[in-house]
Structure formats: structure tokens, C-alpha cells
């Protein structure tokens, strides 16, 4: 998910996406530890997406970013 896509979402949608990504990361880590994970590159992708979401939420909290 690109940062521009995240920025186009509302605050509530971004918070929902953050929760979904956090749950997905937990599930992927569990699958990895039990040897059931086939695509190991999904873990870093989810971590990056989660970081993007958290960064954009923080920017909005501080009032940074694009002024419209």
C-alpha cells in the first residue's frame, strides 16, 4: 500500500487499517514460527505498511503534511 493511498483515507479508516495490519503481522509471525508460512517476504511488507500507516496517523495528529 502506497503512502498516497493511505493519505486518501479518513482517520477512522486508517486506524482500522492499522489494526488489520497488526493482526496480520501477528498471524504471519505465528505461521512462520510453526513452519506454515510459505511467503516469508510478506512479513517485511506488512511491517513497512504498518509503519507507513502509523507515520501518517502521527503526522495528522501533529498537524503536519499537506495543508489543504
pLDDT per residue as tens digits for the range 3-57:
899 999 999 999 999 999 999 999 999 999 999 999 999 999 999 999 999 999 9
| Residue 46 CA: distances (Å) to CA of 2, 7, 13, 24, 59 | 12, 17, 17, 8, 20
Which is more confident, 66 or 18? 18
CATH of domain 3-62: 1.10.287.310
Residue 65 zone, left/alpha/beta (φ > 0; ψ -120 to 50; rest): left
Helices 11-34/42-62 angle, 10° precision:
150
Residue-level pLDDT at 67: 56
User: How do the domains of the chain map onto residue ranges?
Assistant: 3-62
Q: How confident is the model at residue 66 (pLDDT cuts 50, 70, 90)?
A: low
Say if CB 52 and CB 6 are below 8 A apart.
Answer: yes
pTM of the model: 0.86
Residue 63 has a pLDDT of: 87
For residues 35 and 3, what is the distance between their CA atoms, to the nearest angstrom?
Answer: 32
Amino acid at each position: 500500500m502506497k503512502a498516497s493511498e493511505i493519505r486518501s483515507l479518513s482517520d477512522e479508516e486508517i486506524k482500522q487499517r492499522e489494526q488489520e495490519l497488526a493482526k496480520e503481522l501477528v498471524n504471519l509471525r505465528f505461521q512462520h514460527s510453526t513452519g506454515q508460512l510459505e511467503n516469508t517476504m510478506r512479513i517485511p511488507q506488512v511491517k513497512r505498511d504498518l509503519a507507513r500507516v502509523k507515520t501518517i496517523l502521527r503526522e495528522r495528529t501533529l498537524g503536519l503534511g499537506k495543508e489543504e
